A and B are shown apart, each in its own frame.
Chain A
Amino acid sequence: MIYKHVLVSMVLALLSVFSFAQVSEGTPEEKGLSIAVEADKKDVGYESSQSKMTMTLKNKRGDTSVREMRVKALEMQEDGDKSLVIFDTPKDQRGTALLSFTHKVGYDDQWLYLPALKRVKKISSRNKSGPFVGSEFSFEDMSSQEVEKYTYKYLRDEVYEGKDCYVLERFPVDKNSGYTRQISWMDKEELRVWKVNFYDRKKSLLKTLVNTDFKLYLDKYWRAHNANMVNHQTGKSTELVIHDIAFKTGLEDKDFNKNSLKRAK
């Protein structure tokens, strides 16, 4: 789910002083999973959120193209979260909206609303490795980062930008993933993800994501307000900036169905 990925996977981490202690040692796999579980726990209880974001696509020549969108998200207890993304620009695509129900196990459900035809179309979520709105973020980068969707391996401790970090490797469970593995740098204090390297199906380095401008919300939820994804193979990059974000906004289940998708504005 977009919200969760952007604001959570690439980022997040709450101010739990205990998180440190709860990371179990054991084998690198056990320790890796334990770090992932602890990081995921830091997002529990956000209930719902609403945010505005801008994606700026840059090609090798430096030409830019902008996409603005609004994201609503709903935390689910038993299953993955629900989200609704509404596109505002480019103007020829304004009013287009994407409703996603993520599932911890199995494929996500996704419906696309096409305003010109007033049509709701259920789309295949298998095509997760494709680019999201032409950007360097893929659909899977933007979707909910449920713990169950990867297996993990702790690699080492390393100092990144002056912060003590865990370096963690994770492997997608889904064979349709565009990646063979991802390596992330998470600070030990708050379990925020500062950097991720993505490796493609041929196992070569494809992209690097760098998160900056972290802010703390409700004394609990850390969010990066700037996420920059660079594609090493094409020289293109996409910068994602979050402008406004609010938590516990009172959104309910009824705000995430095909009727609400059709009236998304």
Chain B
Amino acid sequence: MILRVAKFLSPLLMACAAIAAAEEGNLEAEVGFEARGWIHEGGQKQERSNLSVRIEAEYYTEWNDGDDSFTFSPFLRLDQRDAERTHGDIRELTWVHVGSDWELRTGVRRVFWGVTETQHMVDIINQTDAVENLDGEDKLGQFMINLSLVKDWGIVDVFVLPGFRERTFAGKDGRLRSPYVIDTNHAEYESGAEENRVDFAVRWAHSIDDFELAVSHFSGTSRDPSFQLSARSFTNVTGLGPVPDELIPVYETIDQTGLEAQYIYEDWLWKLEAISNSGYSDDRYSAAVFGFEYTAIGIFETRSDLGYVVEYHFDDRGEDSSADVLESDLALALRWTANDEDSTEVLTGITWDSDDEEKMYFLEASTRVAQEWKLEVEARFWFGRDSLSQDFATAVQVLSNPSAFSRQAYFQDEDYVQVELTRYF
């Protein structure tokens, strides 16, 4: 913990020095107060409630008429129960220089690739800050040197990515995790350089009339780990003796080629993301997500819009795919936008695994409750599978049988509701 805070503070001090040297800039901040409640006690006796605070800030300054800019965004979360969820990060610490038809971006940054809504498989530059939310949309800052070229035939981005960020995982007292605790202190790497390997990526993106197209390639350490049983921590299980109760993340070296496409036809957005990945056990695999988003505006004589999102996920590793990969899932969602003065929005839907009838319902709603306050409600419920037993021993027996292993099996008792109130400064 102390080490992590120190790691967090040193670039922060560096940034302060840079800020002091710069001209006047702009400072913004937000503080989020989060409460989570679960219907059931956790599988490892975790509590049914949790409180948490999130602090994010952004300092921005520019010079040379905006051709040079500096951004610093620190992030800090304090969690009531989960020591792993209490964490800090530098989301951005970056200098951008803009030339006539190019940009050079140097420092810690976040980059998003992709077009689909329910799965972001092409998006690979940044590691997922998985303790933040199950949706995988929170990302850790990644150090990079990124040259971006603007041409008539599209935008080409070249990335050099020194240094690797490990995925964050809920700790022993945290929830929304597998019965095994993930031991992030002993991660293993395929690369001999371990977390110091320099990764590379390149992406071409272009807009042609109603088409958006992008092709990318990444060569480096996979952001998505596989897991091995740890030999460091054991639990005594009656009849079995001591069994490992922790997992070690294993980061393999991969080459991943990605395709993104979006086509607008009338009120329909047609979307496709696909990847081809080599590296995991030397077997190349492919995955894709495709579907559409249709928006009906001014429904029922009101000023609100209703969007329909339908996306199909496919992964040719099928049931062998790693724990958080969807093998063959359908996602259906409704997005209601009130278009009111409080920017009220609701997104609700279901992901449904047609192979084993596993389902997850989700709801995300947000509205402004005062000029500088926003209220967000989120809920997830799992259905269609038997719950794992409350005690670790039975859970281990279930999970040790690969055919019974399921991505969401251990979430069957994790149904939760989250409320976050954010104040903006």
A57 touches B341 (CB 8 A): yes
Given A65-B342, A117-B112, A127-B295, verify A257-B368 contact (CB < 8 Å): no
By a CB distance below 8 angstroms, the chain A residues around B103 are: 259, 263
For residue A92, CB closer than 8 A to chain B, the reply is yes
Task: Check A156 for interface membership: any CB of B closer than 8 A.
Answer: no
A124 contacts B371, C-beta separation under 8 Å: no
* A104 interface contact, C-beta 8 A: no
Is B137 located at the chain interface by the 8 A CB criterion? yes
Interface residues on A, range: 35 or more
Q: Does any Cβ of B come within 8 Å of A51's Cβ?
A: no
* B residues in contact with A119, CB < 8 Å: 112, 114
B41: Cβ under 8 A from any A Cβ:
no
Instruction: Scan residues 88-146 of chain A and give those whose CB is less than 8 A from a CB of chain B.
Output: 89-94, 107, 109, 117-124, 126-127, 129-131, 133-134
- Interface presence of B212 (CB below 8 A): yes
> Does B269 contact A66, Cβ atoms closer than 8 Å?
no
Q: How far is the CA of A115 from the CA of B58 in the complex (A)?
A: 12
Which residue of chain A is the closest to B337 with respect to CB atoms? A130
Closest to B100 in A: A254
Tell me the residues in window 52-69 of chain A with beta carbons closer than 8 Å to chain B beta carbons.
Answer: 57, 59, 63, 65-66
Max count, chain A CB within 10 A of own CB: residue among B26, B266, B303: B303
Contacts of A90 in B (CB 8 A): 343, 368, 371-372, 424
| Cα distance, A122 to B115, chains bound together (Å) | 9
Using Cβ atoms and an 8 Å threshold, which residues of chain B touch A117? 112, 137
With an 8 A cutoff between CB atoms, is B96 at the interface?
A: yes
Check B324 for interface membership: any CB of A closer than 8 A. no
Task: Please tell me which one of the listed residues B30, B269, B339, B368 contacts residue A131 in the complex, with CB atoms under 8 A apart.
Answer: B339
Rounded to whole Å, the gap between the CB of B264 and the closest CB of chain A is 5
Residue in B100, B110, B343 whose CB lies within 8 Å of A93: B343
* Known pairs A65-B341, A127-B305, A265-B69; A91 contacts B297 (CB<8 A): no
- Closest B residue to A94 by beta carbon equals B28
With A91-B372, A257-B150 known as contacts, the answer to whether A127 contacts B303 (CB < 8 A) is: no
Complex CA gap A191/B262 in Å reads 42
User: How many A-B residue pairs lie within 8 Å, measured between CB atoms?
Assistant: 94
Nearest A residue to B99 by beta-carbon distance?
Answer: A254
B343–A92 CB distance below 8 A: yes
Chain B 82-104, CB within 8 Å of chain A: the 1/0 string? Answer: 00000000000000101011010
What are the interface flags for B110-153 relative to A under an 8 Å C-beta threshold, 1 for contact and 0 otherwise? 11101100000000000000000000010000000000101000
- Residue ID in chain A nearest B303 by CB atoms: A131
Quick check: B298 and A122 within 8 Å, CB to CB? no
B112 pairs with A265, CB closer than 8 A:
no
Q: B212, A122: Cβ atoms under 8 Å? A: yes
- A263 and B150 alpha carbons, distance in the complex (Å): 14
Cβ–Cβ < 8 Å partners of B424 in chain A: 90-92, 94
Contact: A109 with B207, CB < 8 Å?
yes
Alpha-carbon distance A258/B150, docked complex (angstroms): 9
The reply on B60 being an interface residue by CB < 8 A is: yes
Whether, in the assembled complex, B396 has its beta carbon less than 8 Å from a beta carbon of chain A, the answer is no
CA distance A127 to B304 in the complex (A): 12
A122 engages B112 (CB within 8 Å): no
Closest-CB distance, A240 to chain B (whole angstroms): 15
Contact string against A for B residues 384-425, beta-carbon threshold 8 Å, 1 for contact and 0 otherwise: 000000000000000000000000000000000000001011
CB-defined contacts of B320 to chain A, threshold 8 Å: none
Using CB atoms, name the residue of chain A closest to B56: A116
Find out whether the CB atom of B28 lies under 8 angstroms from the CB atom of A263: no
Is B360 located at the chain interface by the 8 A CB criterion?
A: no
Question: Which of A148-184 touch B at CB < 8 Å?
Answer: 178
Counting CB contacts under 8 A, is B346 at the interface?
no
The reply to whether the CB of B255 lies closer than 8 angstroms to some CB of chain A is no
* Closest B residue by C-beta to A119: B112
Given contacts A124-B266, A265-B26, 4 further A-B contacts (CB under 8 A): A92-B343, A92-B368, A122-B264, A131-B339
20 A-B pairs, CB-CB below 8 angstroms? Answer: A59-B341, A66-B371, A90-B424, A107-B210, A117-B137, A118-B111, A120-B112, A122-B212, A122-B264, A124-B264, A127-B297, A130-B297, A134-B342, A134-B343, A178-B298, A254-B101, A258-B207, A259-B103, A263-B69, A263-B98
